Amino acid sequence: MPFTVNKGEVAIMLEFVQQLVNGLSLGAIYALIALGYTMVYGIIMLINFAHGDIMMVGAFVGFYSITLLGTNIVMAMIFAMIACAVLGVVIEKVAYRPLRGSTRIAALITAIGMSLFLEYMTIFLLGPQQKVFPHSAFPLKEYNAMGLLITNKDIFIIVSAVVLMIILQYIIKMTKTGKAMRAVSVDREAAVLMGISVDKTISITFAIGSALAAAAGVMVGVYYNTINPLMGIIPGLKAFVAAVLGGIGIVPGAMVGGFVMGILETFVSGYGSSLYRDAVAFGVLILILLIKPTGLFGKDTGEKV
Amino acid sequence: MQESKHKWIRFCGEVLILVALFTAVQYAITAGLLNMYYQINLTSMCINIILAVSLNLINGFTGQLSLGHAGFMAVGAYSAVIMTQFLGQPFAIGIIAACVAAAIAGFIIGVPTLRLKGDYLAIATLAFGEIIRVVLMNIDYVNGPAGVVGISKLTTWPVLYWSMIITILVVVNLINSSYGRAIVSVREDEVAAELMGINTTRYKVIAFVIGAMFAGLAGALYAHFFYIIKPETFNFLKSFDILVMVVLGGLGSTTGAIIAAIFITALTAALQSFPAIRMILYALILIIVMIYRPQGLMGNKEFSRETFNRIWGGRK
C-alpha cells in the first residue's frame, strides 16, 4: 500500500470533518444574517444594529406559526420571511428615513435604540422565558455516512440557505430591482438622475435583508431548539463580524464570511473552550479592523475630503 | 483688581455650595433620615454621573463613539476588589489601582482602535468591552462567571461625593484648556484639525484614556457598595445605559450629562418592578432624541452661572 493510516489518525480526521459539517450549518445561518447587514450597509452606510433582533422576531413568527397555525417548517419560514420583510420596511420608514441626512453616529444610535426596542417589546409582550421550538415540526433524523454523523437539521439548514442565496444572487444580478439596488449603492445622486426611486430601492433592500434574517431565525430555532427575546444579539454581532470579514457592502463576501465564522466557531468550541467561543468572534473582528478594515474582498477607496 | 476680586468671591461661593450639599447629605445619612433605598439610589446616581461625564468626554467632546465603557468599569471594579479583598490593601490603594488599570486598558485599546472611524470604532470598542467580560469569565482567580461576593462596603458618602466632584472638575477644566479646544476640534472636523497641526490621534487617545480612567473609578466605587461583582454586570447593555444618559443629556454637555444621569437613575428606580418597560423607554428615548433633537437636551450648551443670570436678569 502506498500509505497507511492507523486507526487514531482516522478518528482524528473524522472528528475534523465532523466539526466542519457542524460548522457549515452554523455558517449558513451566519451567512444569511450577514447578507442583510451587508446589503443595508452597501446602500445607506448604516450598521443596522436591529438586524439580529429582526432575526429574533422571525424566529418567534416561525414558532407561533408552527404552534398556533400548525404549519410545517417550510410554511413557517415563509410566514416569518413575509412578516419580517414588512417589519424591516416599517423600521426603515419610521426610524432610519428621517435620519438619512444626519450624521452616521446619529443613525447608529437610532439603530441601537431600535434593537433595544425590539428586544424589550418582545419581552414585554411574550415574557422573557425561552420557548422550546416544537420537535413535532421537525422530527430529528440522523444519518451515518462513512462514520460521519449528519442530521436532517444540517441538511435542511444548508439546502434552504443555499437556495435562498441563489435566489438573492438572481435578484441582484438579473432583475431590474437588483440593478437599481446596485446603482443606488454605487452612487445615490446619479441613480436619482437616472430615474431610480431611491426610497423604493432602499425599502426593497430592507425587505430582502430582513426576510433573509427571518429565514435564519427559523433556522436558529431548529438548530438550537430554543428561542428567546434576546437570542438575536450574539448571532447578530457574529454575523456582523462575518460581513466585515468578507468586506462590508459586498454580497459574496458576506456569504464567505458567514461560513468562515461558523466553521471557526465550531472549531474553537470543539477543540478549545466553549467559553471563549464568543470572544473569538470579536477577536477576529478586531484583527480585521486593524489589518484590513475593508475585509477580504474589499477594495481600498481612500477618504474623500 | 475688581474683576479678580469678583472671581474670588464667586469661587468661594461655589466651594461653599459644594461643601453645604455634601454636609447636608452627610448629616441626613448619620441622622438616619435617608433609608437604605434612598442611599442605594443616591449611590447609583453619583456613580452614573461619573460614568456619564467620563463617557461624554469620549463620545460628546471628542466625537468618538465608544460602546465599551462598561468594559473599563469592569477593569476598575476587578482591580480594586483584587487590591482590597485579595491582597488586603486599603481602599485608597484599590481606587488608585482601579484608575491606573482602567487607564492602561484604555490606552491599550485606544491606540489601535482610535485609528478607526465612526461606526467601525463603535463596533470595535463594543467588541473589546465584550472581550474584557469574556476574559474575566475565564479567570479562576476572580471566580470566573460567578464573580466575587462579599466585598466589604467601603464606598462611603465622602469618598463617593468627592470622587464625583473630582471627575466633573477634571473633565470641565480639561475641556476649557488648550487640550480641550484641540479635542473639540477633532470632533468638529478631523481633517481640518489635522491640517491645523493638531495631532488628532494623540488627543483622541488622551480623551479616551481619561474617560476610561474615570470609568474605572466608577467601577471601584460600584464594587465596594453593591457587595457583589460578576462579569455579567458589565455587559454591553451597561454600556448602552451610559450611552442613553450621554445622548439624552447632549453629546458635548457636561451639565447635560449630569442632569440626564440623575433623571435616568430616578427613572430606573421608579420603574424597578417593570424592567421591560424601562428598557422600552430607553429605546424610545434614543430613537426620538436622535430624530427630533440629535444634539440632546442640552446640545453642547452648559447650564452655568451665566444661564442663571440670563434667566433671572441678574447683574453681570
Q: What is the pLDDT of residues A111-155, one digit of tens each?
A: 999 999 999 999 999 988 889 988 777 777 888 877 788 888 888
Q: Note whether B14 and B51 are same-domain residues.
A: no
Inter-chain residue contact B130 with A282, CB threshold 8 Å:
yes
Report whether pLDDT(B296) > 50: yes
Q: DSSP string of B203-251?
A: HHHHHHHHHHHHHHHHHHHHHTTSSEE-GGGGSHHHHHHHHHHHHHH-T
Amino acid at B107: F
Q: For residues B263 and B268, give the distance between their C-alpha atoms in angstroms, rounded to a whole number.
A: 9
Q: For residues A231 and A216, give the distance between their C-alpha atoms in angstroms, rounded to a whole number.
A: 12
Report whether pLDDT(B306) > 70: no
Q: Note whether B26 and B53 are same-domain residues.
A: no
Q: Note whether B30 and B174 are same-domain residues.
A: no
Cβ-nearest to A286 among B128, B243, B290:
B128
Q: What is the pLDDT of residues A200-250, one digit of tens each?
A: 999 999 999 999 999 999 999 988 888 999 999 889 988 988 998 998 888
The pLDDT value recorded for residue A258 is: 94
Q: Note whether B203 and B85 are same-domain residues.
A: yes
Report whether pLDDT(B113) > 90: no
The pLDDT value recorded for residue B144 is: 84
Q: For residues B281 and B295, give the distance between their C-alpha atoms in angstroms, rounded to a whole number.
A: 19
Percent of chain B with pLDDT over 70: 95
Cβ-nearest to B290 among A99, A244, A278:
A99
Chain A contact present for B42, CB below 8 A: no
Quote the domain boundaries for residue B14.
1-34
Inter-chain residue contact B116 with A293, CB threshold 8 Å:
yes
* B85: Cα separation from own chain's centroid: 24
Q: DSSP string of A255-270?
A: HHHHHHHHHHHHHHHH
* pLDDT averaged over every residue in chain B: 89
Q: Note whether B10 and B46 are same-domain residues.
A: no
CATH of domain A29-291: 1.10.3470
The pLDDT value recorded for residue B315 is: 47
Q: Give the chain B residue nearest A234 (alpha carbons).
A: B130
Core vs surface per residue A35-62: b (16+ CB within 10 A) or e: bbbbbbbbbbebbbbbbbbbbbbbbbbb
And the C-alpha cell for A1?
500500500
How many C-beta atoms surround the C-beta of residue A193 within 10 A?
9
Report whether pLDDT(A275) > 90: no
And the C-alpha cell for B68?
465599551
Q: Which long-range contacts (CB under 8 A, 24 or more apart) does A252-256 make?
A: A252/A297, A253/A38, A253/A295, A253/A296, A253/A297, A253/A298, A254/A31, A254/A34, A254/A35, A254/A37, A254/A38, A255/A31, A255/A34, A255/A35, A255/A165, A256/A31, A256/A296, A256/A297
Among B119, B238, B300, the residue to mutate for chain A (most A Cβ within 10 A): B119
Q: Note whether B98 and B13 are same-domain residues.
A: no
Chain A contact present for B290, CB below 8 A: yes
Q: What is the pLDDT of residues B177-202, one digit of tens each?
A: 999 999 999 988 888 998 999 999 99
Residue B85 sits in a domain of what CATH number? 1.10.3470
Give this prediction's pTM: 0.87
Q: Note whether B147 and B296 are same-domain residues.
A: yes
Residue B298's φ and ψ, nearest 5 degrees, are -100, -5
And the C-alpha cell for A258?
458567514
Report whether pLDDT(A47) > 60: yes
Q: How many angstroms separate the CA of residue A236 from the nearest CA in chain B?
A: 12
Q: What is the pLDDT of residues A52-88, one digit of tens each?
A: 999 999 999 999 999 998 888 899 999 999 999 999 9
By residue count, chain B amounts to 316
DSSP B124: H
Inter-chain residue contact A285 with B124, CB threshold 8 Å:
yes
Inter-chain residue contact A113 with B286, CB threshold 8 Å:
yes
ipTM metric: 0.83
A227 pairs with which residues across the strands? Answer: A131
Query: How many folded domains does chain B comprise?
Result: 2
Least confident of A83-92, A117-126, A279-288, B72-81: A279-288
Domain ranges of chain A: 29-291
Report whether pLDDT(B3) > 70: no
CA–CA–CA angle A237, A238, A241 (5° rounding): 90
Q: Which residues of B touch A114 (CB under 8 A)?
A: 283, 287
Q: Note whether B144 and B224 are same-domain residues.
A: yes
CB B68 within 8 A of CB B108: no
Q: What is the pLDDT of residues B11-61, one digit of tens each?
A: 888 888 888 888 888 888 888 888 888 889 999 999 999 999 999 999 999
Sign of the CA dihedral running A25, A26, A29, A32: negative
Residues A288-294, mean pLDDT to the nearest whole number: 81
Q: Which residues of A touch B134 (CB under 8 A)?
A: 275-276, 278-279, 282
Chain B contact present for A103, CB below 8 A: yes
Sign of the CA dihedral running B238, B241, B247, B251: negative
Q: Note whether B206 and B284 are same-domain residues.
A: yes
